[in-house]
Amino acid sequence: MARMKFLCDADRCIDCNACVTACKNENEVPWGINRRRVVTINDGKPGERSVSMACMHCTDPPCAAVCPTNCIFPTDDGIVLHDKDLCIGCGYCYYACPFGAPQYPQIGNFGSRGKMDKCTYCAGGGGPEAPGSIAEYRKYGSNRFGEGKLPMCAEMCSTKSLLAGDGEIIAQIYKERVLKRGYGSGAWGWLTAYHEDIAV
């Protein structure tokens, strides 16, 4: 079975934020929440790089390991989903995630912040709602994965810096890019999220 992964090729990202806008529009993400964001490293200096960041759907997700209600869990496809009905808003997942993916829609202390929200890989939700239903969409956003489509953020990336899909295919695409350009800027987040490197 294919294992779904993200890869952001920092050499191609132009900081256009199309991935951020596409995610917000496709999933009707609440105001104040960004499931995906673009971060620029060494801004204005030599070696400047922009990286599109979100939940990387880790192989061994640290957010799931610390969740006291087990509302965060990986699927057979490697997508890390969450059940908002079980979430108690404790914030443990926020502190455990190396990518800062889980966010809370309200400002205040953790007890009143509401349910955690994060990237779902456009695969709907992890709750009891029927896949593709209006109830699932209202709570978690779009279920493009159930329709055989990739996440909207990757679909809208004009430079194809942000790749999503079967991890083996993505790794092969990145290898071909590195061989063609003669160097690699690093498959951002890959080693941290999946505990493996892309051998070139």
pLDDT(130) > 80: yes
pLDDT for the residue numbered 82? 93
Say what the pLDDT of residue 197 is: 78
Average pLDDT over residues 69-85: 94
Residue 71: pLDDT over 80: yes
Asked whether the predicted pLDDT for residue 106 surpasses 80, the reply is: no
Q: State yes or no: pLDDT of 111 exceeds 60.
A: no
Contacting residues for 19 by C-beta, under 8 A, at least 6 apart: 36, 38, 52, 153, 154, 156, 157, 162
Beta-strand runs (E) in the chain: 4-9, 37-41, 49-53, 72-74, 80-82, 162-166, 187-188
- Write down the pLDDT at residue 200: 67
Mean pLDDT of 163-191: 87
Distance of alpha carbon 99 from alpha carbon 96, whole angstroms: 9
Q: Which residue, among 23, 8, 49, 29, has the nearest Cα to 192 in the 3D structure?
A: 8
Q: pLDDT tens digits, residue range 18-40?
A: 999 999 999 988 777 889 999 99
pLDDT (0 to 100) of residue 110: 52
What values do phi and psi take at 81, rounded to 5?
-110, 170
Q: Say if pTM beats, i.e. exceeds, 0.85.
A: yes
